[in-house]
Homo-oligomer: A and B are copies of this chain.
Amino acid sequence: MRITRVVSTDVRFPTSRHLHGSDAMHPDPDYSAAYVVLETDGDVAGHGFTFTIGRGNDLCVAAIDALGHHLVGLDVRSLDGELGVIAKLLTRDTQLRWLGPEKGVIHLAAGALLNALWDLHAKAVGKPVWKVLSDLSPRQLVSLVDWRHLSDALTADEAVDLLERAAPRREERERRLLSEGVPAYTTSAGWLGYADDLVVQRCREVVDAGYRQVKIKVGADAEDDLRRVRLVREAIGPDVRLAVDANQVWEVDEAIARIRSLEPFDLAWVEEPTSPDDVLGHLAIARAVDVPIATGEHCQNRVVFKQFLASGAMEVCQIDACRVAGVNENVAILLLAAKFGVPVCPHAGGVGLCELVQHLAMFDFVAVAGDVEGRIVEMADHLHEHFVHPVQIRRGSYVAPLLPGFSSEMKGASIEEFRFPSGAAWR
């Protein structure tokens, strides 16, 4: 069974009409997927995507088309042991590499294609992606990673040791995963565009639904932030964790002052206090404040994660399923986080990010970190209805998916309706 064709589609949802997803840096996102299907001459297809917020989704689609030929002709039955090599075909293309390297549009496209390839591979072997990964040996896992530019922080041999130490308890943790899932927190309660009373009402609702952490957006006016954080803390009580997200808008010194003013509210973390490119800026902030510093959703690749994690600038590691080059690069990042003892709390939301990243968090729990302590996965309650197998949340935790694949397949009717610009939603 071979991959015969790569079919890409520009799918956009008009979320900006209701300010869902609004934050200090992104006031009007239209949650979008540069969606790709790897067709085969057999009875399965691989579905994947990268996530954007509207304009420019077409650029990612074009980049998928530019890279897709590397996958055409691959034998789906013999991907085992080849997925590390194939990932490098996409990220090391000798001419396309210049457009990054390993960042921005071409890297988002590599992520979409590799996510689709993992969906296809998982379907071919009849397991969900988290289980495919969790069943690989330490050496097999390490072979997925592009080790270039990582060895000063972590070598392949060190990673094997680290995985071998976690291996004996994999079965026990898999049983626990299947009964308990992995804990989730929700962002849907606190978008910046929401009025105070709506935020408070939604926070109460999600706590009633069993969530043990909520997150709200900050980063606009300082007084507004203080008021909103105080209101939410009062609404959820002292035992539910509260995180805030500034979405990159502060200067380094400003971030320090603003975060200090929020310290009385016992925050779980402050997310993206400044530029996602600023390792040394985050390090200065982390050293100056008592609230853990979280970032990662805009971290472009493993080399930037390496610096954040090794230096102590990132105290909560927020992997994203689509920003880096898919499953393979996220395995590298999970290994780096484990080496430096930083908890991984994946970024999700958007469209389909929850569906994908739950697999990575579950693999992390079973085979890498071996613990859920301090780990929690973002959940935003938007657009799940467009997926064939949407995430399931039970009592504030993600339920482990059991069906083969990456939970990445969007409903055909949704793709048609939201296809940009010709779908009914955009006409």
Contact = CB atoms under 8 A, between A and B. Distances in A.
A56 B152 CA distance: 31
A403 interface: no
Interface string A18-55: 00000001111110000000000000000000001111
Q: How many subunits of this chain does the assembly comprise?
A: 2
Contact of A252 (B58, B98, B151): B151
Contacts of A79: none
B303 A105 contact: no
Nearest to A102: B277
A152 B256 CA distance: 11
Nearest to A306: B278
Interface stretch (A59-67, A202-210, A387-395): A59-67
Contact of A66 (B56, B150, B279, B310): B56
A303 B282 CA distance: 12
Interface in A151-193: 151-152
A311 B280 contact: yes
B101 A248 contact: yes
Chain A, interface size category, equals: 35 or more
B99 A104 contact: yes
A306 to B, nearest CB: 8
Contacts of A63: 56, 59, 105
Contacts of A108: 99
A103 B152 contact: no
A62 B62 contact: yes
A237 interface: no
B275 A303 contact: yes
Interface in A276-316: 276-281, 284, 298, 300-301, 303-304, 306-307, 310-311
A149 interface: yes
Given A99-B104, A101-B298, A280 B310 contact: yes
Contacts of A106: 56, 59, 104-105
Interface of A: 25-30, 52-56, 58-60, 62-63, 66, 93-108, 148-152, 248, 251-254, 274-281, 284, 298, 300-301, 303-304, 306-307, 310-311
Q: Give 8 nearest A-B pairs by CB, closest first.
A: A104-B104, A152-B252, A54-B95, A55-B95, A105-B105, A149-B275, A56-B96, A277-B303
